[in-house]
Amino acid sequence: MSEGARSAWSKRGCGDLQRRECFSLSLDQGKHKQRKCERPLSLLSAKLETGLEAPKRCVMSGGEVEMYLSQVHDGSVSSGFRALYEERLLLDVTLLIEEHHFQAHKALLATQSDYFRVMFTADMRERDQDKIHMKGLTAAGFGHVLRFMYYGSLELSMVTVQEILQAAMYVQLTEVVEFCCSFLLSKICLENCAEVLRLLEDFSVGVEGVQEQLDNFLLENFVPLMSRPDFLSYLSLERLQAYLDSDALSRFPEIELYESVQAWLRHDRRRWRHTDTVVQSLRFCLMTAANVFEKVKTSEFYRYSRRLRQEVDQALGYFHDVNEQPLVETRSNRIRSVRPQTAVFRGMIGHSMVNSKILLLHKPKVWWELEGPQVPLRPDCLAIVNNFAFLLGGEELGPDGEFHASSKVYRYDPRQNSWLRMADMSVPRSEFAVGVIGKFIYAVAGRTRDETFYSTERYDITADRWEFVDPYPVNKYGHEGTVLNGKLYITGGITSSSTSKQVCVFDPGRDAGGGVCLAGLGGAGTTDTHRTRSARTPILPSTHTSCWENKSKMNYARCFHKMISHNGKLYVFGGVCVILRASFESQGCPSTEVYDPETDEWTILASMPIGRSGHGVAVLDRQIMVLGGLCYNGHYSDSILTFDPDDNKWKEDEYPRMPCKLDGLQVCTLHFPEYVLEHVRRCS
């Protein structure tokens, strides 16, 4: 081509009518420069006449070198190889598998398979051969794989998948291996589970995510699978232990897992020597005493295994020491649960009705209600001790049809979805505060319909007994309490008919004498009944330093608010900020504050979209949820607000509204076993 023609060709660009994107690059003193795209009129006219889009041509300064990228090139190469294959043209290699001859193009095989790329490009004898014998795979399986390399499609069935997977693994065709794994996972069931597991294990399939999906299926169907002889034969000791250690077995009661272990041991008498090892992965404290006596102690393995006998003795001791159960932290009594549930206990519906269900935000964006024994109480306080919930005081319906302050205490165990009545408080209390420090639950101040208290008492969990301790400095109710760093913080509340900014901290370690102060029992209006109740408690030495200490006040006075500890700080939400003495009318407080114990300072944060009191709070997924309550437009709420402490922002409607509008609700996060949650019912 002449220089003139070459120059004209460069300026005109490629004249074919196929759809292409055109780019132009040039190097100008080591730097790339760009100028406007040019579209020659002749080329544009040609495109318009044929109905095709005109190509884009980007020309760089000094545009003597131009680069064009085709949008159809890859497809044309593939279709070209297919055409040559179908017409049996330019075939340059024959693969001999069993008694079948497969002709193909070396170039295509090398582009599709790492195995063939190495064979035809490295220093191997097969590189120059036109006939190659292949062993270790079947002709039927390789036929499907070869067709995939030319056509990109693959037909799979349970009859053919093993041979195809074998061939794909042999020639290192990753995409076909992934297709085979996806097919097997979609077809896995109880009947073929052992076969699928063996197949994937035999070929050492390492596709990402496959083992995780297999484990999910096995854990979801563990007990039914353990009744199948083929699965029992397949399951190794190591895998059995791994599954028994998983919290994902939560849907099965522990006694069913024990019976599955027995089936595995009985399947092969030689496995009996592993009994001591296997039973350590079971959690006998999650069973019932009846289960242990009737199904474990009567087993032949109980006589055979000393370790099993030790586990049983530990469980029976746990069942016997009912009061101490919340303080026992062992692997044997830890609930199998993957993630906690947001639980709502009680609360008022309007002015009179009490919500009698446990509401659970069980599945994403859905509320459920848990059936089970119900407690005739509207509690004001909730204390969590190692996943046991204590509901204390509040109000209960009296024989006169009115609500009265209550001294009752109930304990809820999510392991068995059971309630237990514990020792009553020394004084009936409502609108008080609680906190858990060590083995004690502290109840601070509060009131009845007739009197207000400053007394403080604590519940000894191990002894199931209440005793008075250093009283709060003033009479108070409507305050809030939260434990942080082993200290109980009390904020706000009502004193002498006005709201308070006061912050006071109870530190049991400040009592130098190690005693419990019993002075000042009851508070204003202390009755003979209170003295009678307290007299049942042994009096301990009272020479001590006060356990109460004032801290920096909040920025806003408030009562009936909520406080929660999160990331080493205290967060306070809403409440009522003004109580007018004459009319006893209230004014809402939508503000949010955070307290840093290191600096003893309060910081004002973003206010709630609408203020509320009597609401509940809980931490879920690093956000703080505010649920229900009485809003300051005079309406009860069923909405949920979420607060992000990191961004200092409020959001609405991230979670569904509660099934009913509640005030004075108690909210927490608890772990439930799935077999308990199977009894939940979706709220209408």
- pLDDT per position as a tens digit, 635-657: 888 899 999 999 999 998 888 88
- CA 170 to CA 187: how far, in whole Å? 23
Residues 254 and 207 in one domain: no
- As a residue count, the chain comes to 684
Residue 282 is assigned to a structural domain of this protein? yes
Residues 359 and 376 in one domain: yes
Burial class (CB in 10 A: 0-12, 13-18, 19+), 517: buried
pLDDT at 280 over 80: yes
Residue 540 is assigned to a structural domain of this protein? yes
What phi and psi values does residue 32 have, to the nearest 5 degrees?
A: -90, 130
pLDDT of residue 327: 95
| Antiparallel, parallel or unpaired: β 348-349 and 341-345 | unpaired
DSSP string, 507-538: -GGG-TT------S-S-TT--HHHHHHHHTSP
What phi and psi values does residue 389 have, to the nearest 5 degrees?
A: -110, 125
Residue 491 is assigned to a structural domain of this protein? yes
Which of 202, 220, 238 represents a domain boundary (last residue)?
220
Q: How many CB atoms lie within 10 A of CB 2?
A: 7
- Specify the 3-state DSSP secondary structure of 124: coil
- CA 514 to CA 503: how far, in whole Å? 24
DSSP 431: S
Which of 71, 87, 114 represents a domain boundary (last residue)?
71
> Taking the chain, what is the end-to-end CA distance rounded to the nearest angstrom?
82
Mean pLDDT highest for which of 116-130, 211-225, 363-377?
211-225
Residues 299 and 397 in one domain: no
Task: Give me the mean pLDDT over the 44-52 stretch.
Answer: 43
Structure tokens at 487: 């200290």
Residues 462 and 603 in one domain: yes
pLDDT band at 528 (very low <50, low <70, confident <90, very high): very low
pLDDT at 524 over 90: no
Residues 213 and 233 in one domain: no
87: CATH: 3.30.710.10
How does pLDDT run across 488-505, given as a tens digit for each residue? 999 999 987 788 999 999
Task: Give me the mean pLDDT over the 320-340 stretch.
Answer: 93
pLDDT at 262 over 80: yes
Distant-in-sequence, close-in-space partners of 375: CB < 8 Å, separation ≥ 6? 346, 391, 410, 419
Lowest average pLDDT, out of 73-87, 338-352, 534-548, 610-624, goes to 534-548
Residue 336 is assigned to a structural domain of this protein? no
Q: Is the pTM of this model over 0.85?
A: no
DSSP 28: B
Residue in the block written with tokens 């020639």: 171
pLDDT band at 12 (very low <50, low <70, confident <90, very high): very low
Which of 501, 614, 476 is CA-nearest to residue 557?
501
Residues 133 and 249 in one domain: no
Which of 429, 450, 467, 446 is CA-nearest to residue 525?
450
How many structural domains is the chain composed of? Answer: 4
Residue 411 is assigned to a structural domain of this protein? yes
Which comes out higher in pLDDT, residue 482 or 528? 482
pLDDT of residue 523: 38
Residues 182 and 99 in one domain: yes
250: CATH: 1.25.40.420
pLDDT of residue 298: 95
Mean pLDDT score of the chain: 83
What phi and psi values does residue 306 have, to the nearest 5 degrees?
A: -70, -35
Residue 652 is assigned to a structural domain of this protein? yes
- CA 551 to CA 565: how far, in whole Å? 16
Residues 56 and 95 in one domain: no
Residues 551 and 581 in one domain: yes
pLDDT at 292 over 70: yes
Residues 267 and 135 in one domain: no
Residues 540 and 649 in one domain: yes
Residue 326 is assigned to a structural domain of this protein? no
Phi-psi region of 660 (alpha: psi -120 to 50; beta: other; left: phi over 0): beta
Lowest average pLDDT, out of 121-125, 183-187, 266-270, goes to 121-125
pLDDT of residue 43: 40
Task: Give me the mean pLDDT over the 623-630 stretch.
Answer: 91
Which of 13, 41, 71 represents a domain boundary (last residue)?
71
Residues 91 and 17 in one domain: no
Identify whether the C-beta of residue 207 lies closer than 8 Å to the C-beta of residue 181.
yes
Distant-in-sequence, close-in-space partners of 638: CB < 8 Å, separation ≥ 6? 628, 657, 658, 659, 660, 661, 662
Task: Give me the mean pLDDT over the 167-186 stretch.
Answer: 93
Identify whether the C-beta of residue 344 lies closer than 8 Å to the C-beta of residue 627.
yes
Lowest average pLDDT, out of 35-49, 84-98, 380-394, goes to 35-49
Tell me which residue range forms the domain holding 190.
Answer: 74-220
Which of 48, 43, 682 is CA-nearest to residue 371?
682
Rounded (10°) CA dihedral 558, 562, 566, 569: 20
Residue 332 is assigned to a structural domain of this protein? no
pLDDT at 277 over 70: yes
Which of 676, 659, 674 is CA-nearest to residue 222?
674
| Beta-bridge partner residues of 383 | 390
